[in-house]
Amino acid sequence: MPLKSCQCDKAYSCNSSLIIHKRKHTGEKPYQCMQCDKAFSCNSHLINHLRTHTGEKPYQCSQCNKAYSKNSHLMIHKRKHTGEKPYQCIQCDKAFSYNSSLINH
């Protein structure tokens, strides 16, 4: 049975996800960067942030070797190679690789 948040209708199957979600409502950010004091609600967000200090870029494109600190940035980059255009204008059907390009359109 899914667990529910006390302030909204979001449902989660595991308690740890519910706890992290509840922090959006409370503003609790228990994970703090020791280099700049920025705080995060989730440990994985702190780990991603730490890469801004270390310069670590563990996600590398297999086609051109360009590297990124976040996997999501690599996935966006790969559209340059695949030609994927997932963002489509509902008025003229023109498609774009990036959401920002659709918004500017």
43 and 81 inside one domain: no
Q: Examine the domain organization and report whether 71 and 100 are in the same domain.
A: yes
Give the whole-number percent of the chain exceeding pLDDT 70. 94
Q: Which residues contact 85 (CB under 8 A, 6 or more apart)?
A: 79, 95, 96, 97
Mean pLDDT of the chain: 92
Would you call 56 helix, strand, or coil by DSSP?
coil
> Tens digits of per-residue pLDDT, 24-61?
899 999 999 999 999 999 999 999 999 999 999 999 99
CATH number at residue 22: 3.30.160.60
Domain of 81?
Answer: 59-104
Total domains present in the chain? 2
Tell me if residue 10 falls in helix, strand or coil: coil
Split at pLDDT 50, 70, 90, the class of 17 is confident
18 and 44 inside one domain: yes
Same domain, 36 and 79: no
Residue 64 and residue 48 share a domain: no
- Structure token digits, residue 70: 């976040």
Domain match, 42 and 65 both: no
Query: What pLDDT was estimated at residue 5?
Result: 63
